[in-house]
Amino acid sequence: MKVKVIVTTKANVLDPQGAAVERAMHSMGYEGVEHMRIGKYMEFELSAATEAEAKEQVERMCKVLLSNPVVEDYRYELEA
């Protein structure tokens, strides 16, 4: 099973990296860019007996290792 995880900072948390890239985009003439937010993308193969078990494992991985639930949100997709 292929797993794709996206982790982003929560909307109310400052994203200095996103702000910096946004400024760089503006300085390169891309004035139309706004609200830039930068996060992490992770993909991996996961062997699990069932999709339900895979889902449960990914939830735990996201909470414990792949994101910081205090300041980050996560979402994921499972592809059979």
Per CB under 8 A, residues contacting a second copy are 6-8, 18, 21-22, 24-25, 28, 30, 32-48, 57, 61, 64-66
To a second copy, the closest distance from the beta carbon of 21 in angstroms equals 7
Nearer CB in complex with a second copy: 64/70: 64
Q: Find, among 11, 28, 2, the residue nearest to 71 by Cα.
A: 11
Nearer CB in complex with a second copy: 28/70: 28
33 CA to centre of own chain: 20
- C-alpha 28/C-alpha 36 separation (Å) is 15
Could you report how far apart the first and last alpha carbons of the chain are, in Å? 5
Nearer CB in complex with a second copy: 28/80: 28
Q: Which residues, listed in sequence order, are joined to residue 6 by a DSSP beta bridge?
A: 41, 75
To a second copy, the closest distance from the beta carbon of 65 in angstroms equals 6
